[in-house]
Amino acid sequence: MRQTTEDAVERFRGLDRWNTSDVITALWNGQMQAVASCLPALSDLAAAVDAAAARLAAGHGRLIHVGAGSSGLIALLDSAELFGTFAWPEQRRLVVLAGGLDLSAGLRSDTEDDEGMGRQRIIDHRVGAEDVVIGVSASGSSAFTSGAIDQAARQGALTIGLTSMPQSALARVALHALVTETGAEVVAGSTRLGAGTAQKVILNLFSTALMTRLGCVYDNLMINVRPDNAKLVQRCIAIVGQVAGVDQADAAKALQHHGDIKRAVLALAGVPECELSPLLAEAADNLRTALTLAASRGWSPGR
């Protein structure tokens, strides 16, 4: 019989009387099982990434995360990191949490059951066919989240549901269901444990692969990262130097003059300054495509 995230399993009875080492070992085993549960979902995840990339490549749609409780916080974290890592535009990301984004008083649990509120929030944000909406719910039974995902689909958005229950409401209403069957938690019902770990893993994979498909990664380098502090300035200089094949001094000069990695690399490849923005626009902001176009037009270093 399939175990759910709410089941209390016999082997963890008396957990509060175990010694600390055994408690930690049980929790660690639960985490490893949660990571392993992601493996069967990888093919579905790849299909969701490709569909999302196709939808967002036009340059107008938003990546929208929806959730409640701990699942919502994990979704919020994934969204919040997109700008710093990939310079994903703030106007193209949105987080819809049951109870709202003001977490100063903690998480409200009652709003999770309000399907109508989930639907209304999607209507209010004018979600449409250019958008990608990913809903996260461990049990898949959050009425707020499944309502929002169903409404988003009705309004033409690409919808993705991340859950640990294959026959849940969320899995049924999402166009792409990403299911990680994490089973029963060591502490019964505490889905911030195994299910939460699986959610974090899948969201990490989803957003990173998606940003890679959208041209935010060159080779395995974060070419959209912004030089906003000393550490990131040095990282940007190193990336420019590696991609352009120049020393750190020349990379630093180019970065300082042009302000970001892509323009610095293209300038070092011989693209005239007046052509940088038009070339990137023609290449849909993809550095590899832009470099190929530059070479085809005879631009080269020193010319």
Structure-token match 């919808």, residue found = 159
Asked if 185 is an active-site residue, the reply is no
Q: Is 241 helix (H, G, I), strand (E, B) or coil?
A: helix
Tokens of 98: 């049951």
Ramachandran class of 64: left when φ > 0, alpha when ψ lies in -120 to 50, beta otherwise: beta
Residue tagged active-site, from 112, 115, 181, 185: 112
Residue tagged active-site, from 6, 81, 130, 275: 81
Asked if 10 is an active-site residue, the reply is no
The DSSP result for 204-232, as a single string, is HHHHHHHHHHTT--BTTB-TT----SHHH
128 to each of 62, 184, 230, how far by Cα in Å?
9, 36, 39
CB 52 within 8 A of CB 121: no
Quickly count helices (H) and strands (E) in the chain: 12, 5
DSSP state of 4: P
CB 143 within 8 A of CB 114: yes
Q: Which residues are catalytic?
A: 81, 112
